[in-house]
Amino acid sequence: MAKFSTILLDLDGTITDPKSGITKSVAYALDFLKVSYPSLDSLTTFIGPPLKDSFMGYGLNEKDAQIAIEKYREYYVKENGIFDLTIYAGFKEMLENLKKADKKICLATCKVRSYARDILEHFSLVQYFDFISGSELDGSRSTKSEVIAFALEQTNTKVDNSVIMVGDRKHDIIGARDNNLQVASVLYGYGTREEFAEYKTDFVIDTVKDLEKFLLS
């Protein structure tokens, strides 16, 4: 099995379970626009993809999607939705062991970069990351492909079999493919075996412990 020296990690659904904070923030935005939804649980589809894509996929036009993003961020920041999450059990210990093994670790998330940094700092994880790549408040670098490319560029990482992207949704697979990276997809997040098979991921990982063994092998 390949030895990995550089690991790019998704945030939502890979490092954290952000269900509570994200679904409440989405509900706040949809309520403002008077858009109905079945339940908070039904809004877990917003975990992972770029917000604009998710809101437009929910039937909003581009103008209303932008309003929804603004209302989402209003709740997310002011009501502390940003920290209404849990770190998957064993993940901090895995990061410690990866750093001890001298792995380069980058965050690659479609979440706003400053929010991602705040989350890592709040949960005492930021010291394990060599670089944080994410989107910007002005809407730039919004796709996972762009986020991954930025991380690779800023860290002068040469793409080869020692570099891998780890995520839980199809967007992570697409972003990795666009940058000629291998990708490992985790089942403990919000993706499914069917989704991973459809988008042809390289590796499917069941648990955090399995992920640690895989990355350290």
Q: Which residues of 172-204 are buried (b: 16+ CB within 10 A; e: fewer)?
A: bbbbbbebebbbbbbbbbbbeeeebeebebbbe
- Catalytic: 172? no
- Within 8 A by CB and 6+ apart from 209, the residues are 90
Q: Which of 10, 17, 168, 172 is catalytic?
A: 10
Single-letter amino acid, residue 43 = L
Distances (CA, A) of 134 to 2, 66, 109, 208: 27, 18, 5, 23
- Report the catalytic residues: 10
